[in-house]
Amino acid sequence: MKRNVLLGCIADDFTGATDLANNLVRGGMRVVQVIGIPSRPLDVPADAVVVALKSRTIAPAEAQAQSLEALRWLKGHGAGQIYFKYCSTFDSTAQGNIGPVTEALMDALGTDFTIATPAFPENQRTVFKGHLFVGDVLLSDSGMRDHPLTPMTDSNLVRVLQAQCRRKVGLIDYRAVAQGEAAIRARLAQLRTDGVAIAIVDALTNEDLLRLGPALNDMLLLTAGSGVAIGLPPNFGLVPSGASATLPAAGGARAVVSGSCSQATQRQVRAFAAAGYPAFAVDPLRAACGDVVGQVLAWARPLLPGGPVLAYSTAQAHAVRAVQGRLGVQEAGELVERTMAQIACGLVDLGVRQLVIAGGETSGACVQALGVDLLQIGPQIAPGVPWCWGRDDAGRALHLALKSGNFGDDDFFGKAFTILQ
């Protein structure tokens, strides 16, 4: 049965999609995340649908085409407002894809104005005078400068986005945001008069995002990290409620697959192994020439009845660079993603039904390989990371936690399984 969706979201990677969905669920919206553009109509009730693409690092034209197809499906389900979600560290290359996708969506929606802000202060992402801070440091001084695929070396988001856009990019600074809806609307009007089409928005606290929400009520397109979502449910008359996060009961064996090389994930891998859980380091160079997947699964099989296991390619920046030097940047990324996805599928064949996946691209590759196409969003493990529930292409029910690299405390992997018990 076709149902009307209030808010239609397009996310440029899988963990980003769940991060956004998590915020909407916390605000009282029932949220379904679909993996890729659905081939069938929605058959479960949802106030918001998040279409999870894997478009962050593909060619800009392809990212635009996929985003426009997602837009058509969402509009077909009645979505009146569209939210393009990207990473809270504004992950992009000089070519895009944040700018090109934003402009393609603006063209398709016939709108002349939108906002762009990755701010989410609760998650240590603040924007001040257009500059993005990750915790206490500028984006360009954070671990993101060493990201394998989208190294971020400029913290000035107006400059970063302008380089990717034909339209003029401006700024709604913290002073307007602090004064609330009327001041924000006045600034929006001023920017429009000045010929600006896309406004970076400062936010220093979560309250800034809550103040921003009402000013976005009538904007056809929003582009943001997941933070802006906390201010939106009241626009649809919704309030927080635990009922929006209920999932079926969990069972089966437990495992973690980690292909993220972020500093947070490196700490989480070390903490999990130090807590005594079995951990297998996947060497990309051996994956290039041997049967690493078979080795991991043979290792995991006898261990799984005893508790969760971890398979990881997570490595420090110098080790990643060495592998990229041997295989090429893109080739290394794809090889590792393919390998981790095969490991995830093999673990499910061995009876794993509670699976934590670390890494945005890695999660995308794993979920695609498992053939999971729809996820119900459940309770939060850490800010930005909820447990999700769905079925793989063999109809097996899986609880999945898809963790973006930078998210979660050091004990995230162990804590995730505790929350599900």
Min. distance of Cβ 58 from ligand ADP in angstroms?
12
Min. distance of Cβ 340 from ligand ADP in angstroms?
7
Min. distance of Cβ 274 from ligand ADP in angstroms?
20
Q: What DSSP string describes 371-390?
A: T--EEEEEEEEETTEEEEEE
Q: What is the crossing angle of helices 14-26 and 360-370, to 10°?
A: 90
Give the residue with the Cβ less far from ligand ADP, 191 or 323.
323
Spatial separation of the C-alpha atoms in residues 39 and 113, rounded to whole Å: 31
Spatial separation of the C-alpha atoms in residues 265 and 256, rounded to whole Å: 12
Among the residue ranges 67-75, 156-164, 259-267, 290-298, the one whose residues contact ligand ADP (CB under 6 A): 259-267
Spatial separation of the C-alpha atoms in residues 55 and 65, rounded to whole Å: 10
Min. distance of Cβ 269 from ligand ADP in angstroms?
11
Give the residue with the Cβ less far from ligand ADP, 119 or 315.
315
Min. distance of Cβ 324 from ligand ADP in angstroms?
6
Give the residue with the Cβ less far from ligand ADP, 25 or 336.
336
260 binds ligand ADP (CB under 6 A): yes
What Å distances lie between residue 215 and 78, 178, 186, 201, 234, CA to CA? Answer: 22, 12, 10, 12, 12
Give the residue with the Cβ less far from ligand ADP, 14 or 174.
14
Residue type, 372: V
Give the residue with the Cβ less far from ligand ADP, 197 or 327.
327
261 binds ligand ADP (CB under 6 A): yes
Spatial separation of the C-alpha atoms in residues 340 and 366, rounded to whole Å: 7
Among the residue ranges 34-42, 213-221, 261-269, 373-381, the one whose residues contact ligand ADP (CB under 6 A): 261-269
What residues between 308 and 337 interact with ligand ADP by CB under 6 A? 313, 315, 319-320, 323-324, 332-333, 336-337
Residue nearest to ligand ADP (CB): 405
408 binds ligand ADP (CB under 6 A): no
Q: What DSSP string describes 54-116?
A: --SSS-HHHHHHHHHHHHHHHHHTT--EEEEE--TT---BTTBSHHHHHHHHHHHHT-S-EEE
Min. distance of Cβ 360 from ligand ADP in angstroms?
4
Q: Please give the size of the binding site for ligand ADP, defined by CB under 6 A.
A: 24
Min. distance of Cβ 80 from ligand ADP in angstroms?
31
Min. distance of Cβ 135 from ligand ADP in angstroms?
16
CA 409 to chain centre: 17
CB 264 within 8 A of CB 383: no
Spatial separation of the C-alpha atoms in residues 57 and 178, rounded to whole Å: 34
360 binds ligand ADP (CB under 6 A): yes
CB 45 within 8 A of CB 3: yes
Spatial separation of the C-alpha atoms in residues 5 and 220, rounded to whole Å: 14
User: What's the full length of the chain, in residues?
Assistant: 421
Give the residue with the Cβ less far from ligand ADP, 59 or 189.
59
Give the residue with the Cβ less far from ligand ADP, 217 or 263.
263
Min. distance of Cβ 347 from ligand ADP in angstroms?
17
Residue 146 CB neighbour total at 10 angstroms: 17
What Å distances lie between residue 125 and 145, 259, 333, 358, CA to CA? Answer: 15, 23, 26, 20
Position among 64, 262, 354, 376 found at the interface with ligand ADP (CB under 6 A) = 262
Task: Give the footprint of ligand ADP on this chain (CB under 6 A).
Answer: 148-149, 259-262, 265, 284, 313, 315, 319-320, 323-324, 332-333, 336-337, 359-362, 404-405
